[in-house]
A and B are shown apart, each in its own frame.
Chain A
Amino acid sequence: MAEEYRRQEVRMPAVGMRPGAGGGPHNRFAPTAKPKNAKGTLFRIIKIYLRWAKTIFMAMLLTGLSSFISVWIPYYVGKSFNTFDMKSRRVDTDALIGTLMIVLAFYICNWLISFINGVLMLKVSQKLVYVLRSEFFAKMQKLPLEFYDTRSHGDTMSRITNDVDNISSTIAQTTTQLLSSIITLIGSLSVMISLNIPLTFAVLLCVPLIGLLTKAIASRSRMYFKAQSTSLGQLNGLIEENILGLKMVKAFGKQEDILKEFEKINSMLCEHSTKAQIWSGYMMPLMNVINNLVFAVVAIIGGVISVRYGVAVGTVVSFLSYSKQFAMPLNSIAGMFNTIQSALAGAERVFEILDYREEPADEPDAVDMTQPKGKVVFDNVSFSYNKSKPVLQNISFSVKAGEVVALVGETGAGKTTIVNLITRFYDTDSGTIYIDDTPITAIKRSSLRKCFSVVLQDTCLFTGTIMDNIRYSQKDATDEEVIRAAKIARAHDFISRLPKGYYTMVSGSTDNLSQGQRQLIAIARAVLCDSPILILDEATSSVDTKTEKEIQRALLSLMKNRTSFLIAHRLSTIRDADHIMVIGNGRIMESGNHESLMEQKGIYYNMVMSQMGNLPA
């Protein structure tokens, strides 16, 4: 399955809108993810925001002030028309200039406020994302390995990028917008009431009309949006699967069958999206009709009133502006609740990680291991990744310091699990593991880590130079020490042949190094670490024979004087181990050295024979 993470694409907001304001054509009827515990999540977000309480409070205040001022602008604009005397064609210039000065002052005030507010909010929201991301990452460092083994990378990544962004940008901006819309609504309403009550009723006519319209459109539209997202999911699944498996599609000649299936889902998707779009698309033009209807009604009633009762022209002009201004926030408020809801759902996804159970902390009386020797004992250890499927059952064994132990068995038999338990990547369900007779749960984690060098199945290199990568296990090692380690690992030769030598840049994905060379670097890393216990998990898997020999030589020199755990498919690598354990069904099926196991003619014997091309008895 493909990663569900999609690269977050930065979008430039339109000039003239505040960043994020009305960002994207978020359709109000499209289904949104619903938060599970909206109230709790909201409180938690508020609590996070309160860390910047002063700035946030200030910003809210400014937003309120700015909306309040905006409400008055149409009033004064309208009032300026009152200075026009239609009969004499004279203008009361002093009064006009006075009114216009007020309008101008309002505009300038608003400019200053939105300028300050904009900068404040921008800094706070960016700072908030920064802090949240740092906390998220700090939390990731404390999560047990189980978390990483059970969750896809894509999911975790989209939480730390998209969802964290959502908390800050969407929630902050939508809340501010919501605040300003509500103030605008209430403010306009009070100004209108104070100006003229009958005209106010005419403007309020839009409320039930918009309500009716929304109700008529919403249910149909929602239904089709839901159907659309279902078929979209199906179609994307089909696309993903077949593109990833394209080779098989071709090899088995399944193209036409798949196209038929595609066409079926594709036309269903087309039908649903068309209907969803048609229905939701009715909203804007019909809103416009309502708007203009109200406008006309206001004009007519205003006309009647001004003719009959001599209401000032300016009042009518103000009302005409209010009627235009009133319907807009009314419509957007409904949309904003939707946006906030989906942002809350995103926030929950972030909080879920922040609340995830951490790796148990060190016991208060945990000890530091000084000079560990490398004796390892498993005493009656049981373990399962999930309760229904035990992986290890009552395993007991003991390894003397300096011994080489090989673990063999089918994939999934539990070999890697034993490694996971010794290193305390996972904790046992029951039973105890001792290192030098101290239970590992009583050893400080930082100290326990110094007991091991590991070379894992997938050689993982980090972006940086080869020098940095080897030094990864011992960050204060000198260059000389790094080079000495590389020599022991037999990596020095190929590294010095590279044009930039130890300063060659590598990364997880670049292929300037072969798999074998990567493994040599990983082994050098383990050499540098110089710990009493060495763990090699399939360290020589798929490399050419020459490199494999090199690696085996490097490993042999590395295993000297160390307790070593070997996991390998190839039996030749392990036949010289002091101790071979065959793992199967969660138990140790056989154990002994090569010769004694071969004599037993049991499982190990069968494995060796079938690897040599002979059929098991």
Chain B
Amino acid sequence: MRLYSKYFNKYKIPFITAILCVALESVCDLLGPTLMSNIINTGIAQSSMSNVLYWGARMLLVTAIGACFAVIRNNLASTVSQRMGADLRYDLFRKIIYFSEESADKIESGSLITRMTNDTAQITQFVNGIMRIFIKAPILCVGGIVLASILNLKLSIIIYAIVAVIAVLIVISMKLSYPRFSQLQKAMDRVNSTVQEYLIGVRLVKAFGTYDIETDKFNDANSNLMKKGISSQMIITLISPLMTLTIGLGTVIVIYVGSRMFEVNQANPGDISAFTIYMSQILISLIMITNIFNTFVRTKASTARIREIFECEGDFANLGEHKDINGDIVFDNVTFAYPNGSGEPAIKGLSFEVKSGENLAIIGPTGSGKSTIAWLLMRFYDANSGRILIGGHDIRELPVEDVRKNVAIVPQKPMLFSGTVADNIRWGDSEADEEALRRAAAMAQADFIDRMENGFDSMLGSAGVNVSGGQKQRISIARGILKNAPILILDDATSALDAVTEAKVRDNLRSGLCNRTVITITQRCGTAMAADKILVMDNGVRVGFGTHEELMANCEVYKDIYRTQIESSKEI
């Protein structure tokens, strides 16, 4: 819980006040039955009106005071827990958004999202709970026992026994239930994954007509879930009525033993009636405590997940001297393995050089390390050995922000954000004017924008219009162009465009951005052929570097790619 001490310290005073209020509120609650027994003993039993009024007024007063504490506690608890929740969310989000790429790879984004949403909500609820029932339940339980003992020590022995029996029942049922519930979770997950697999493969199921296989698979998982569902809840179904029975038995015994003691002047009817109330109050608080236990287990899991985020490494510090940078790129004997990967280097001893304003194409099969070059160039990771220079400077000696400012990337998957088309393109340059915006869009062949109902102001994202994969790619290209960085990387960014549109985009880039270094990562030989220089990658190693003609003359891998892609397949 050390993780949260920062937040507790910030809200120390209201937090402690709230806890104090709960404690006092609980005391007020506890006094109720005792006051009631006084009403019965000294008032009703002795037919004394003044005593009834006296104790009745006391009871109302205590209740009113209790309510005051409760209201104060409620305001404080809500405010503190929500503030803490908001602070925690903010800190987490800031941490995530400044994650090093290594950290971002380590935790799946889906999991990061649930941690940001569900787990923080769980913590907020827990903090709120501390200032509500977590303090109250134990006080009620212990206080109930103590007050009952004060009221009548001999009679309270029965209460001890009853509480012990109930506690044993609770422990038994928790012990038996926990493993069964974790099995239930597994059964649930199995049904989920069966359905998910069906959804992903539905075309195949329909194409092959394998309905029976799928039905069998599902029925199997489903009946397993039913069995686990019944067995997991059976324990509680059996034990809960037993607890009510125990309390009933206790009530009967208290009244009977009480009657014996009444005859020898050791107990009053009021005490006995107060006892029965304390007994059910103790039962309720015990149930609350098991509830707290359940919440605690969940909160612990949430905390562990949140801590994992906080313990992740942040991005490289923004240190180093600011320098003007041109588009020269040098890779000098760079070797790099993904920190969370298999340990096998994604890039081995890679060296190449590109001059400012040149066009470089990187070609090679999937997994050959093409995209890795792009991420290294933007310093998303540091190389294990070797140097990367842009504009003649080692990127580790430049401020990270400067490095990324000087490289624009158009990724494989065009990640767009909700907002208008213009907002999305302006990610490249938030101050760009209308004209620059249109120019970038035109270069990316994104003429479809003008045909949209609201043009550049059309909304994208869940609430907005649907755009096709090819259209997204063109918006993403426009965004990269608008950034106006000396280096532009297109990472297989035209895969959803048809050959003609792609060629036009390529031509626009060549004529419009002649002073920038453009790196095109591709699998298509036709795309690579047009570049000034082509880097051929295979399995993390440079297997060729040069112009198309040079490579056709001396690079086997490149020749192979060319033949399979451009020439007829009959000849292989």
Contacts and interface: CB of A to CB of B under 8 A. Distances in A.
A456 B94 contact: no
B170 A103 contact: no
Contacts of B538: 544
Interface string A245-284: 1111111111101110011001101100110011001101
Contacts of B181: 10, 12
| 3 closest Cβ pairs, A-B complex | A544-B365, A107-B248, A285-B70
6 contacts: A9-B185, A12-B294, A89-B262, A133-B191, A313-B44, A552-B569
Contact of B252 (A10, A103, A472): A103
B5 interface: no
A380 B432 CA distance: 50
* Most B CB within 10 A of own CB, among A160, A235, A270, A454: A270
Contact of B566 (A145, A267, A611): A611
Interface string B75-92: 101110111011001100
Given A7-B192, A16-B283, A108-B245, A253 B25 contact: no
B385 interface: no
B199 interface: yes
Contact of A250 (B52, B79, B404): B404
B290 A16 contact: yes
A236 to B, nearest CB: 5
B229 A607 contact: no
Interface residues of A, number: 172
Contacts of A239: 93, 113, 116-117
A17 B66 contact: no
Interface string B491-531: 00000111111111001000000000000000111111110
A528 to B, nearest CB: 10
B540 interface: no
Contacts of A123: 230
Given A285-B70, A463-B197, A270 B86 contact: yes
Nearest to B52: A303
A216 interface: no
A117 B78 CA distance: 39
Contacts of B212: 475
Interface stretch (A35-43, A90-98, A192-200, A486-494): A90-98
Main secondary structure of the interface of A (DSSP, over half): helix
B237 A119 contact: yes
Contacts of A235: 89
Contact of B287 (A15, A317, A410, A423): A15
A371 interface: no
Interface in A31-60: none
A210 B39 CA distance: 25
Interface stretch (B156-164, B172-180, B449-457): B172-180
A508 B185 CA distance: 21
Interface string A405-441: 0000111110000000001010000000000000000
Contacts of A263: 90
Interface string B425-439: 001101000000000
Contacts of B503: 610, 614-616
Interface string A546-587: 111100110010000000000000111101100000000000
B74 A282 contact: yes
A2 interface: yes
B366 A161 contact: no
Contacts of B409: 251
A285 B71 contact: yes
Contact of B366 (A110, A304, A542, A613): A542
Contacts, number: 487
B404 to A, nearest CB: 6
B554 interface: no
* Most B CB within 10 A of own CB, among A10, A73, A104, A282: A10
Nearest to B567: A572
Contacts of B214: 141
B56 A296 contact: yes
Nearest to A292: B63
A134 interface: yes
B569 A306 contact: no
Given A19-B233, A83-B259, A288-B66, A259 B462 contact: no
A259 to B, nearest CB: 6
B49 interface: yes
Nearest to B495: A569
B47 A306 contact: yes
Given A289-B64, A612-B529, A277 B128 contact: yes
Interface string A309-335: 000010011001000100000000000
Contacts of B319: none
* Most A CB within 10 A of own CB, among B98, B199, B529: B199
Nearest to A114: B241
Nearest to A274: B82
A111 B241 contact: yes
A313 B297 CA distance: 47
B569 A576 contact: yes
A463 B198 CA distance: 11
Given A103-B252, A472-B208, A544-B366, A573 B82 contact: no
Given A115-B237, A306-B47, 5 more contacts: A80-B255, A239-B117, A456-B204, A613-B529, A616-B500
B542 interface: no
Contact of A252 (B461, B483, B496): B483
A26 interface: no
B184 A262 contact: no
B340 interface: no
Interface stretch (A342-350, A361-369, A445-453, A496-504): A445-453
Interface string B468-492: 1110000000010001000000000
A134 B222 contact: yes
Given A84-B259, A292-B32, A612-B529, A572 B569 contact: yes
Contact of B568 (A73, A145, A572): A572
Given A9-B185, A96-B256, A545-B560, A86 B45 contact: yes
Interface stretch (B8-16, B320-328, B344-352, B411-419): B411-419
Nearest to A271: B82
B135 interface: no
Given A126-B226, A250-B315, A148 B202 contact: yes
Interface in B236-269: 236-245, 248-249, 251-252, 255-256, 259-260, 262-263, 265, 269
Contacts of A241: 417-418, 461
Nearest to A156: B199
A300 B56 contact: yes
B287 A14 contact: yes
Contacts of A317: 40, 269, 273
A203 interface: no
A91 to B, nearest CB: 4
B490 to A, nearest CB: 13
Contacts of A606: 499-500
Given A292-B32, A299-B39, A262 B177 contact: no
A513 interface: no
Contacts of A140: 198
B234 interface: yes
A187 interface: no
B384 interface: no
* Most A CB within 10 A of own CB, among B208, B408, B430: B208
A578 to B, nearest CB: 13
A203 to B, nearest CB: 15
Contact of A247 (B96, B415, B560): B415
Given A246-B109, A299-B39, A270 B114 contact: no
Contacts of B192: 7-8, 157, 161
A248 B36 contact: no
A240 interface: yes
A272 to B, nearest CB: 9
Contacts of A553: 572
A233 to B, nearest CB: 10
Nearest to B405: A253
